[in-house]
Structure 1
Amino acid sequence: MRIAVVNWRDPWHPQAGGAETFAWELSRRFVRAGHEVRYVTARAPGQRRHEVVEGVRFVRMGGVFTVYPLVLGWLLARRWRFDAVLDCQNGIPFFTPWVLPWRTRVICVVHHVHDRQFGLHLPGWLAAFGRLLEGPVSRWSYRRRPSVAVSPSTVRAMRERLGWRGPIHVVPNGVSVATPAGSARSPEPRIVCLGRLVAHKRVHLLLDAVPELRARFPGLVVDIVGRGPEEDALRARLPEGVVLHGYLPEEDKARVVARAWLHVSASQGEGWGLSVLEAAALGVPTVAYDVEGLRDAVRHGRTGWLLAEGTDLAKGIAGALDDLDHTYGVRCREWAGRFSWDRGAERLLALMRGLDPGPGWEEP
């Protein structure tokens, strides 16, 4: 098949996150399966307009907002070229059904519902416009097209908060991490936090918890790995015992994670929580709030701990450190082993062929 994957960013964009990992890992597997793939996305300063990586042809144009009309124009000019389009919604989809013929199979991928997050990043009027596009306009535009969500939480949010009525299939993220050579768990308590440094990840809550944790666990160290618009503000207020690494190559990131006792996510909501599975694959359980996405990625009492919203994070982490034993690491690795990018690609290719991919989520 000739497939177009349209996504806000590519994995090398300075603000890339889990959505970009999802689009990239699936694109490269589509190529391996013999399909032709165009990955159409925004262009960050210094990036090439056209590039081929592992057989995936990248086409880059526009910035944060201009990428949307430019991609629609690009597709309109090539409207008969593609058999299938993966239209990835990062708050706002690309509305590709507006410019494509009915025979082109369009699949809308929703990572998580952004309605509550628009106000954290945008002025009021623009946040309201974003909610209009994400809700009623998207619901109408994709009403006769299959959709994909990355977790049961996202399915529920699409039904309840967006009023989505069409078919929704679950395609979870896979997990693939580098294997760090000679890395072992730290003898002293160590916590790691992975992810983009943006407002809704609430990394500041972890920083607030550090003094109390270090008073109880002397020598405790917190590693924060990631980059984003909040980095400078967080770096300016780092308490003693916290290391903000910024971006790390995969092997270095895996080495930092593997030596941790716990992974912590204070996010107010995710589509899935890819960082949770990356940590689990290295035997590191997660402490997170019981919110959308994270309640799917963390198995409470088995691969981590889910805290009720409003719970004091320092107390929640301290309780986890007290409860921690080697069985959590064993169960984490087993849990992460259930998720595969290969299976995700197979499910999406079935949808592109008009087939039913079957159940996509099984409880442990």
Structure 2
Amino acid sequence: MRFKSIVLVSHVTDLSGPSEAVENYLKTRSDRLGVIYHPFHYCADRRSRMQDYRGGTLLREARQGGWNLPALATYVKDALFTLFYFLRLGGRYDVYLGADPLNTVVGVVLKWLGLTNFVIFYTIDWMPERFSNKLLNAVYHWLDRFCVRHCDAAWNISPRIQDVRRSQGLPDAKNVLVPVGVDLEKIDLPDKSASEPRDLVLLGALAPSKGVDLVIDAFPRLKERFPQLRLHVIGKTPHDAVEDGVVYQPYEPRLAALGEGVILHGAKPHDEVLAMLPAYDVALALYKPSPNNLSQWADPSRVKDYLACGLPTIITPVPEIHKDIAALNAGIVVDYAVEPLADAIGRMLADPGQWRSMREAALAYMRSYSWSSILDRVFEESFRAKA
């Protein structure tokens, strides 16, 4: 694919995700690329930012508006900054790719004004109760349906969200599945044919819904059985440590208190993460079963990164990918509890042959998930739907 001009608008976290992967893809395929990012309220740097690329080269960048505002005011601020930055970027792009309803509705308005020709609505996360505030949740779903009606193509990160779009009346030609991919070309795999597993890794934001408490409870008993066991933690407690309206304490002190064998790496850029992961052996993706857990509707990128780096993954049955992991024997699916987790880790560590078999299954599974191949396909499908 080659683009004359395209703008990407998204909310982002402190960690790299699908939007950053799309940006990397577009940088090498666009004459003009505009990028507008709005960090979520819990990010360390909450300033909206604009990047202007020409032929893959960054010409200018701006960051503004990192104020600590109430949630509704923050979303209004983000929409206004999208308009402001869009005009600063030149005021016209052939394609507008908006991730989430708030960013996409701005693209629809810009199309009505004749400032863009084609609007893609990219749904990275979706759930019935997206916000606990009923009014905010109603506004979110009204905007969501508005974008479905007026977009030229809808990208959906999981089959579950694709089914929602179908129920909303979106034609199949516009209803495009965009699974999370992996930058396979950035991964350097070591030879582990004679290795024995001893390094666990937990990647991502440290929050109750990510199973950190389970890991803290399970590690000491595993350490007694496997003295060489090490736990690598890549990530940090979010700046705003609140989940489901409940404030929780930072996890770093509790993890450090586990003593020898726990290594806290902090948050790392995505390229560094992909360089680090292949050195480890077993990955943890412990999503808490809950109606409010976005992961049940999503395709978590960290799971794909784990598998592509050759890490058999211990996962709870929350995101859809757990079904593939079980069917392909690329890891172990466990209930969200300490005993099943400790048992699964123990089985992997005690049977290196089975672990190596799972490692090969994980690598084989991910060979078809190159971001470049996925995005080539979905852009072609999207423009074909318009034609």
TM-score > 0.5 by shorter chain:
yes
Separation in 1, partners of 2:38, 2:78: 5
Moved more, 260-269 or 295-304: 295-304
TM-score of the superposition, structure 2-length normalised?
0.73
**1:99 alignment counterpart:** 109
TM superposition shift of 1:155: 2.5
**1:234 alignment counterpart:** 251
Q: Does 1:334 align with 2:364?
A: yes
Separation in 1, partners of 2:191, 2:16: 25
Which structure shows the bigger proportion of residues in strand conformation? 2
Separation in 2, partners of 1:307, 1:354: 41
**1:360 alignment counterpart:** none
TM superposition shift of 1:297: 6.4
- Please list every run of at least 4 consecutive aligned residues from structure 1 whose deviation after the TM superposition is greater than 6 angstroms: 45-48, 76-80
2:23 corresponds, among 16, 23, 27, to 27
Q: Which amino acid in 1 is paired with 2:266?
A: G
**1:317 alignment counterpart:** 345
**1:6 alignment counterpart:** 9
After TM superposition, the structure 1 = structure 2 runs for residues 1-364 of structure 1, keeping only pairs within 5 Å, are: 1-9=4-12, 15-19=13-17, 22-42=18-38, 44=45, 50=51, 52=53, 54-55=56-57, 60-63=63-66, 65=75, 66-75=77-86, 81-89=92-100, 93-102=103-112, 104-115=117-128, 118=131, 124-125=132-133, 128-145=134-151, 146-156=153-163, 158-159=164-165, 164-166=168-170, 167-176=174-183, 178-179=186-187, 187=196, 189-229=198-238, 233-238=250-255, 239-240=258-259, 241-248=261-268, 253-254=273-274, 256-268=276-288, 269-270=294-295, 271-295=298-322, 298-309=325-336, 312-322=340-350, 324-351=354-381, 353-355=383-385
Which structure shows the bigger proportion of residues in helix conformation? 2
Q: Counterpart of 2:19 in 1: which secondary structure?
A: helix
Separation in 1, partners of 2:284, 2:130: 20
Please report the RMSD computed on the Cα atoms of aligned residues, expressed in angstroms.
Answer: 3.6
Q: Which amino acid in 2 is paired with 1:257?
A: L
| Deviations, residues 216-275 of structure 1 (Å, cap 9, x unaligned) | 333321111123415971111112332221023556534542232210011245321222
Q: Is the 8 Å Cα contact of residues 15 and 269 (structure 2) preserved in structure 1?
A: no
Q: Is the 8 Å Cα contact of residues 6 and 87 (structure 1) preserved in structure 2?
A: yes
Q: Counterpart of 1:4 in 2: which secondary structure?
A: strand
Q: Is the 8 Å Cα contact of residues 189 and 219 (structure 1) preserved in structure 2?
A: yes
Q: Number of aligned residue pairs: give it.
A: 339
Moved more, 91-100 or 30-39: 91-100
Q: Is the 8 Å Cα contact of residues 263 and 279 (structure 1) preserved in structure 2?
A: yes
| Deviations, residues 14-61 of structure 1 (Å, cap 9, x unaligned) | x43343xx2233233334234421111237478975554943665654
Q: Is the 8 Å Cα contact of residues 181 and 369 (structure 2) preserved in structure 1?
A: yes
Residue segments in structure 2 that go unaligned for 5+ positions in a row = 40-44, 67-73, 242-247, 289-293
Q: Is the 8 Å Cα contact of residues 285 and 328 (structure 1) preserved in structure 2?
A: yes
Q: Is the 8 Å Cα contact of residues 186 and 260 (structure 1) preserved in structure 2?
A: no
Instruction: Give the direction of change, closer, same or farther, for the CA distance of 1:31–1:344 in structure 2 (3 Å limit).
Output: same
TM-score of the superposition, structure 1-length normalised?
0.77
Q: Counterpart of 1:173 in 2: which secondary structure?
A: coil
Moved more, 293-302 or 45-54: 45-54
Moved more, 203-212 or 284-293: 203-212
TM superposition shift of 1:87: 0.7
Instruction: Give the direction of change, closer, same or farther, for the CA distance of 1:56–1:294 in structure 2 (3 Å limit).
Output: farther
TM superposition shift of 1:280: 1.8
